[in-house]
Amino acid sequence: MLLIIALVNGKENVNSEKGEEIGKTQSENNELRAMEERKAYMQSIQLVTENNEYMHMEEDASEQKVKVPVPNGYVGSDVAGENTVAGGYVIYEGTDPVDTEEKAKEARKTRNQYVWVPVSEEQLKQMYGVDEKGKLWGKLYDFTTNTGTGINAETGTGVDPVTGAKPYYWKEPNGIINVTSSTSHREPDILKDSDIPSYLRRYGARAESTEEMLMDLEKEFETSIESIAQYGGFYIGRYETGGLSGETVVRRMDTDISNQTWYSMYEKCKKLRGANENVVTSMIFGSRLIEH
């Protein structure tokens, strides 16, 4: 099980105001305006390049000295193999420095770790779209062994020449995403299962119904996309999430990773941030990023 860790969005008030505006336009059945406002808002998000109350900037060890946003309460590694964006920039939970191989060996077994995944503006466009109601949808891809001349997002056809990826049940005519199958996989979404309510109660999920949980997932997806736009990427668990029978961890050689349902893992991932209010942790979404 992998999880995504997103930095807290520093524009929460703006998001709230924009959400209210969109809600008003939707209630007035002005769906086109809602979509245009949502797109305009996403495009207005400025990339953070300086410290703020949630994070601080660190430089990697490459010649380019690439800046990496590190959430407060975490520290970037200074150890070779972990200290460049190109090689996978690792952060450790806690503020004690990890600046020697000896410290790193111990920290890998005792501290939660995450790896920075940079996402360019162009790559982010490959991860989500906005529908006619202003809702954000993840773009899923089917990966094949064949390659093509490129993807046509307008028609939802074509194959990427490098990765062999092709759109999975979505197209984007005139820049408006359309999920073409209501029964196939899509993000954000949950399985339509009659047992879901009992699972939610059994594993202590916040939601009381499938509808409420779906709304929560939609909000989490939007939060993740907004955070990626604001900080230029996200963090992913360095190791498969373990400690699933007790304290959930992301550490080396933790083999307690099985005999769980999706619902129990979802709740455990939500709690991984502990008391740190500078990050949001969750199960990773299925939106695929095409690397070139």
Residue-wise pLDDT tens digits, 62-102: 999 999 999 999 999 999 999 999 999 999 999 999 999 99
Q: Does 211 reside within a domain?
A: no
| 191-205, 223-237, 251-265: the lowest-pLDDT one | 191-205
The whole-number pLDDT of residue 1 equals 44
Q: How many domains does the chain divide into?
A: 1
168 occurs within a structural domain:
no
User: Is residue 187 assigned to a domain?
Assistant: no
Q: Give the containing element (helix H, strand E) for 107.
A: helix 101-110
Decide if 13 is inside a domain: yes
Q: Is residue 148 part of a domain?
A: no
User: What pLDDT is attached to residue 18?
Assistant: 46
pLDDT of residue 196: 64
Copy the structure tokens of residue 189.
């979404």
Is 100 inside any structural domain? yes
Q: Does 106 fall in a domain?
A: yes
The pLDDT of residue 191: 59
- Domain of 18, in residue numbers: 1-119+222-292
Classify residue 186: in a domain, yes or no.
no
CA distance 95 to 77: 11
pLDDT for res 193? 59
Residue 27, pLDDT > 60, answer: no
pLDDT band of residue 202 (cuts 50, 70, 90) is: low
Between CA 61 and CA 161 the distance in angstroms is 33
Average pLDDT, the chain: 84
Q: What is the pLDDT of residues 107-148, one digit of tens each?
A: 999 999 999 999 999 999 999 999 999 999 999 999 888 778
